[in-house]
Amino acid sequence: AIKFARIINELKPDLAIIDCPSPNPRKFREILNRYLEHKCKLKLENYADRRYKVVGAASIIAKVIRDREIRKIEKIVGKELGNGYPHDEKAIEFVRNANEFERKFIRRSWQTFIRIRKEKEQRKLSEYE
C-alpha cells in the first residue's frame, strides 16, 4: 500500500485503478488511504488487469521488467532463479539454499522467504532429548 501511495502522491492522477494485491480490497483501501496525501478516485479490484486494458498493459510491462531484473541477478549470482513466483521450484530452491551474498537479492517481506526462514528456525522433534 505504501508503494502504491507513493506513486499516486507523485503522479497526482484524478483516477487510480489498482489491481489489488490483497484478497480484501476494502481493507487494502483503508491501509492505502492512510498513506495518501493526494486524494483521487480509487478503483481497487482483484483481477483489474482482466477488466481494464490500461491495467493489463501495465501488468505486462511490469512482468517484462521483472523478468529482466531476475535475469540480471542470475548473471550476478551464477544460478537460475526460475520465475521468482512462490510456486516456482527453482525460486524456492534458490531461497532455501541462498548464501549470505545471494540473500541480498531476496525480498525479506516475501512470504515464501518468511515461510522458509521459519521452517529453518523451527527445531525438529528429533533434536529434543
Quick: pLDDT tens for 88-115: 999 999 999 999 999 899 888 888 888 8
Domain assignments of the chain as residue spans, ordered by start: 1-51, 69-122
pLDDT of residue 49: 96
pLDDT of residue 123: 66
**Joined grid coordinates for residue 115:** 515461510
123: helix, strand or coil:
coil
**Joined grid coordinates for residue 78:** 551464477
In angstroms, how far is the first alpha carbon of the chain from the final one? 46
pLDDT of residue 31: 96
Q: Which helix (H) or strand (E) holds 43?
A: strand 41-45
pLDDT of residue 122: 77
DSSP classification of residue 124 = P
CA–CA gap between residue 35 and residue 8 (Å, rounded): 10
pLDDT of residue 5: 97
Query: What is the 3-class SS of 94-113, one letter each residue?
Result: HHHHCCHHHHCCCCCCCHHH
Residue 33 phi/psi, 5-degree rounding, is -60, -30
pLDDT under 50 in the chain at which residues?
none
Q: Where are the alpha helices (DSSP H) in the chain?
A: 2-11, 25-35, 48-51, 53-77, 89-97, 100-103, 111-121
pLDDT of residue 84: 81
Determine contact, residues 67/92, Cβ cutoff 8 Å: no
